[in-house]
Amino acid sequence: MKDNKITILGLLFFLLCAALGGAVYYLGERLSELHSRADELQQQRVDLESTTQALIAQKSVFTNAFKELENYSVNVAPDEMAFYSGVQQVLQNNSVEILSTRQQGVNAEGVSAIAMTVRGEYYALMDVFAAWRNLPTTVRVSNLTLGADKPVGASAEASRGWIQADVTVEAIVAPKP
């Protein structure tokens, strides 16, 4: 009977050691899985934080843009002639030649447009665009096509730096009473 007790105790001890070994192995595997999952979640947290920061920055940009738009005012031309003469005066002041002009009148929304073909030095034309921004009337360039100018009968040296532009300029005109 003593041998049976020793055998049973030995068997129980072996089973206890095997159960502990199995538990240690299982818990080790489970721990490595949890570490792996924790690393994935940490990476997701970092990604989400950077995405959130980018979205906050974009929101700030949009908010500032809307604040600027709220402060933006459009200066309406008193009549078509004031608009046309202002646009043409800037061209003359910058020595840009007007080849043709097509006044398109005022549309249903109150926008007047003038389409022109002009010729002059490149930098003079760029100065014209800048000067139009300083007119008392808010103007918008709605169409612009630039190309090299080829004056008739002129040498290649004479046409260097000159360009020809088809440009359409628009402005809002005050309604007639």
Tens of pLDDT, residue by residue over 37-90, are 999 999 999 999 999 999 999 999 999 888 887 877 777 778 788 888 888 899
Spatial separation of the C-alpha atoms in residues 168 and 111, rounded to whole Å = 12
Clarify whether residues 30 and 11 are in a common domain.
yes
Domains held by the chain: number: 2
pLDDT of residue 69: 79
Clarify whether residues 97 and 163 are in a common domain.
yes
pTM for the model: 0.54
Least confident window among 7-11, 47-51, 78-82, 143-147: 78-82
Clarify whether residues 2 and 64 are in a common domain.
yes
CB burial string 37-61: b at 16+ within 10 A, e below: eeeeeeeeeeeeeeeeeeeeeeeee
The parent domain of residue 33 ranges over 1-72
What is the identity of the amino acid at 66? F
Whether 28 maps to a domain, the answer reads yes
User: CATH number for the domain including 109?
Assistant: 3.30.70.60
Residue with tokens 């447009």: 113
pLDDT exceeds 80 at position 158: no
Question: Are the CB atoms for 164 and 147 separated by under 8 Å?
Answer: yes
